[in-house]
Amino acid sequence: MQDLLTLLGIDVEYVRGEGNTLYFLDETGHEVPVIDYAGGYGALVLGHNHPEVVATVESFLRARRPVLGQASRQPAAGRVVARLNDIVRREFDTAEPYYGVFSNSGAESVEVALKHAEFDRRLRLRALLEEIAEHVEQAREAVGAGTAVLSDDADGDVDALAERVRVANSAVAARPSVFLALEGSFHGKLVGSVQLTHNPAYRTPFGAMAAQARFVPVDQPEAITKIAQEERAVLLDLRLQDGRVSVVERDFPQFAALFMEVIQGEGGIKEVTEQQARRIREACAALDCPIVVDEIQSGMGRTGAFFASSLIGLRADYYTLAKGLGGGIAKTALTLIRGERFRREFGLVHTSTFAKDGLSLAVTHTVLDVLEDRDGQAYRQAAERGARLVELFRSLIKAHPEVLKEVRGKGLMLGLEFRDLSGAAAARLREAARSDLLGYVVAGYLLRAHRIRTFPTASAVNTLRFEPSIYLTDGEIDALERALRDVCARLDDQEEEAFFGPA
């Protein structure tokens, strides 16, 4: 990574940050300001070192309050979850509560959802097997008492039939669960979460370490039904009716959960439409497959609402939250689980030393205070600032159609896609495009020439991401406009020396 940063000319050490500005020292020791449009990959919805967040941290430490108090009452955690429930009720118009499981990072919040969904599936399976066992015993007793007979299609005596059911169900119950995720998804790089991340460069080297997902094209939600048919398995049950015992099939709970981002961050800032979300929900409901919405990057107000999924009317069974939840300072995450799905026993089988620490909880309270202040002014601000950026990007696309392709996203989670330049006349631009480095080359030029910081998305490297804080100023937008117009003009003219220096 250090070699790549050096190659691109962005190996900078930042020494101070405030708002949307980072500072590094030049060769004379003077601070050089850089406008930060990368925004901590979406974590800095309140910018660097927000004064209220900093004040909370300072006050907490001065008071010598305990950071770690495991196995004790932690009412601050309950207050955070209660406040988030208030937001859920407002944005989704539901009275059903959500329970919270804290962790330390976005990928861990996904792991929590993975584990809980599988835990829930196994408990549902156990209950179903216990029900079948009761039916088998009832059938055995009825046949033994002479009040029932085996149906014509049942082989042997009732004991042989019971053994057939037991063996068949044992084999099916041992099958691994199936997780679903959308093509283009990114849900982290831990052992479980990386299996839900679509980019094979991240996933394939670790494919043998955990259950792998089946991926669904975003624009083809009907593929869920097709996958369900391919993966379908059944359990056998004995039904006692009208004095006859017959073998019947019961659906095996194969699917643990479907994971999705409503705006795919690393996949190129691509949105799921309201219609696509509705079809996904319908297909999952038919399978009793819970939906996990990953709001790690899109949530916390960045898109104009606390939950981006509320903007398309998609209420999930699970929400994963992180990034902006920590106010740009704390490392914290939270998985919200719908009351109907929540398993209280999970709190005994999943724990974490650093999750739900006192400092992070204090910071999260302050973040929620800032976002909810003045009836959610922060959300309106994110939407308005985002609309201003979209207007700028569209004007650039119109002026440079051979260089820019499209803008995508909502609020302050935006992606500007450059066209494929793998056929460019300039050799070094052409090679950069063919090596999937064009986005990084442009990002390096923006930093060196214009002191603007952004990066491409990981799995769509021709798309630059723009995720500044809600306090983005008109002056910062004007600076971005000058920089991007310069980039586009130089790419139009194939001025490769501007990006790479003399040959």
For residue range 354-412, what is the model confidence (pLDDT) as tens digits? 999 999 999 999 999 999 999 999 999 999 999 999 999 999 999 999 999 999 999 99
- Ranges assigned E (strand) in 207-309: 213-216, 234-241, 244-251, 255-260, 263-264, 270-271, 291-294
SS3 state at 335:
strand
What tens digit of pLDDT does each residue of 330-345 get? 999 999 999 999 999 9
Nearest C-alpha neighbor of 103 from the set 330, 267, 401, 298: 330
Helix/strand/coil for 453: strand
pLDDT tens-digit profile of 271-290? 999 999 999 999 999 999 99
Higher model confidence: residue 280 or residue 11? 280
Amino acid (one-letter) located at 194? V
- Rounded CA-CA distance 498/479 in Å is 19
pLDDT at 15: 97
Task: Please tell me what DSSP assigns to residue 187.
Answer: -
Report pLDDT for 211: 82
The answer to whether 302 touches 413, Cβ cutoff 8 Å, is: yes
Alpha-carbon distance 376 to 372, whole Å?
4
Q: Where are the alpha helices (DSSP H) in 146-266?
A: 158-173, 200-203, 223-231
For the chain, what is the mean pLDDT? 95
Residues 230 and 488: their CA atoms lie apart, in Å, by: 48
Residue given tokens 């003009």 in the structure block: 489
For residues 497, 38, 271, 408, the Cα torsion angle rounded to the nearest 10 degrees is: -40
Burial letters 278-302, b for 16+ CB under 10 A, else e: ebbbebbeebebbbbbbbbbbbbbb
Q: What is the pTM of this model?
A: 0.94
pLDDT for position 153: 73
Position 212 scores a pLDDT of: 82
- 345-380: burial string, b at 16+ Cβ within 10 Å, e else: ebeeebeeeebbbbbbbbbbbbbbebbbeeebebbe
Instruction: Please report the pLDDT score of residue 251 as a whole number.
Output: 93
Q: Give the 3-state DSSP-derived string for 299-325, with helices as H, strands as E and coil as C.
A: CCCCCCCCCHHHHHCCCCCEEEECHHH
Spatial separation of the C-alpha atoms in residues 45 and 302, rounded to whole Å: 6
Closest CA to 199 of 186, 218, 181, 214: 186
Q: Which long-range contacts (CB under 8 A, 24 or more apart) does 374-377 make?
A: 376/301, 376/306
78-136 per-position pLDDT tens digit: 999 999 999 999 999 999 999 999 999 999 999 999 999 999 999 999 999 999 999 99
pLDDT at 414: 98
pLDDT bucket at 69, cuts 50 / 70 / 90? confident
Asked which of 63-67, 69-73, 313-317 is least confident by mean pLDDT, the reply is 69-73
Percent of the chain's residues with pLDDT above 70? 99
Exposed (0-12), middle (13-18) or buried (19+): which is 258, by Cβ within 10 Å? buried
Residue of 302, 335, 298, 297 whose CA lies nearest to 317:
335
Average confidence (pLDDT) over 431-452? 94
Furthest-apart CA atoms within the chain: distance in Å:
99
